[in-house]
Amino acid sequence: MKKLLLLDVDCGVDDAVAIMIALASPSVEVLGITCCYGNSLLENTSRNTLRVLHVCNKLKIPVYSGASAAILGGPLLDEFYYGKDGLGDVPDPQAPGLDLLQKEHAVLAILRIANERPGQVSLVATGPLTNLALAVKMDPSLPKKLKNVFIMGGNIESRGNTTVCGEFNFESDPEAAYIVLNEYTCPVYIASWEFICSCPLSWEFYHEWINQNTEKAKFMKKIYAHSIAKCEHESHFITCDSYAMAAAIDENFVTEVTPVGVTVELRGSLTRGMMVVDWSDKLKKENKVFIMRKCDLMKLETLLMAALK
């Protein structure tokens, strides 16, 4: 039996890598991809998803456009780490048009797919959690119908990569992250910012990976050029969303997890959007999440290499 995955992305370069990992895995069937704003405007993240599927010859996988802003509204976080379009600002005259998007809204698609295959679908979220939050508000029974959820986002040591204490995906929509962490009662696995930073890849691996002589690798090299120029001084290479995807695909990838109650700070002047980890169980939460602590990097490297073959 193949693992059934539903992907929710804000398709920037890191999401593109994660999507390609899933598409290349023989043990996985991707039922659909839902899109939200985040790494760029919704129009761009939706188009980027279609571009990735086009490169992988997988345009039959349905793509759904969803939330264009946070639950409380407001502008996008002005990061554009992966370029203004989210995919390195590389011109692509062959890019598929938005007419290939499904007419159904992403939130409705999440609910329908979960209802069609109760207890079978793993939801992998690699962007702001707005679509997931709206879905559970429309149908509070949704978490009972999902097999599990894998999230790239949040932080466990208050180390921010966007604000002082905020990780990008959670900081983009703190209310959505709060809703998801408090209302999704199915097993939830979190690849936090600090976990990923503690399990980096080498630049030697990056160059071996990106210089494979394939069309997928050439595509990846082009879209990564913008952001790699910013981080070449770093001692290691990380591709954040791949960790959550690897965990969803291979149950042996994560070698240590900590079950713990979590929530999200909504009001702090310096801590808004920070994931609060209740290490001492003062909140007495019944639905604990599983925070990833250690992983098998060789398995990740194998998945990444296969993604660009």
DSSP string covering 127-146: S-SHHHHHHHHH-TTHHHH-
15 is written with which tokens?
A: 């999401």
- Nearest-angstrom CA–CA distance, 300 and 199: 10
Give the residue ranges of DSSP H helices in the chain.
13-24, 42-55, 106-116, 130-138, 142-145, 168-172, 174-183, 193-197, 203-210, 215-231, 241-249, 297-307
- Nearest-angstrom CA–CA distance, 127 and 131: 10
Model pLDDT, residue 2: 95
Whether 153 contacts 177, CB under 8 Å:
yes
CA atoms within 13 A on the CB side of 19: 34
Phi, psi at 218, each rounded to 5°: -65, -40
Instruction: Write out pLDDT tens, residues 89-146.
Output: 998 988 999 999 999 999 999 999 999 999 999 999 999 999 999 999 999 999 999 9
Which residue is listed with tokens 């005259």? 93
Which domain, by its residues, includes 139?
3-307
User: pLDDT: is 191 or 230 the higher one?
Assistant: 191
214 is written with which tokens?
A: 């394939």
Model pLDDT, residue 229: 82
Instruction: Write out pLDDT tens, residues 38-83.
Output: 999 999 999 999 999 999 999 999 999 999 999 999 877 766 889 9
Burial of 183 (0-12, 13-18, 19+ CB in 10 A): middle
Instruction: Write out pLDDT tens, residues 148-184.
Output: 999 999 999 998 999 999 999 999 999 999 999 999 9
CATH code of 194's domain? 3.90.245.10
Residue 232 has pLDDT above 80, yes or no: no
Task: Look at the pTM and tell me if it is higher than 0.95.
Answer: yes
| Span between the terminal Cα atoms of the chain, in Å | 24
In 3D space, the residue among 218, 170, 220 whose CA is nearest the CA of residue 194 turns out to be: 170
Q: How many domains does the chain have?
A: 1
- Nearest-angstrom CA–CA distance, 75 and 291: 30
| Torsion angle of the four alpha carbons 143, 16, 10, 244, in this order, in degrees rounded to the nearest 10 | 40
Residues recognised as catalytic = 10
Which residue is listed with tokens 């802003």? 69
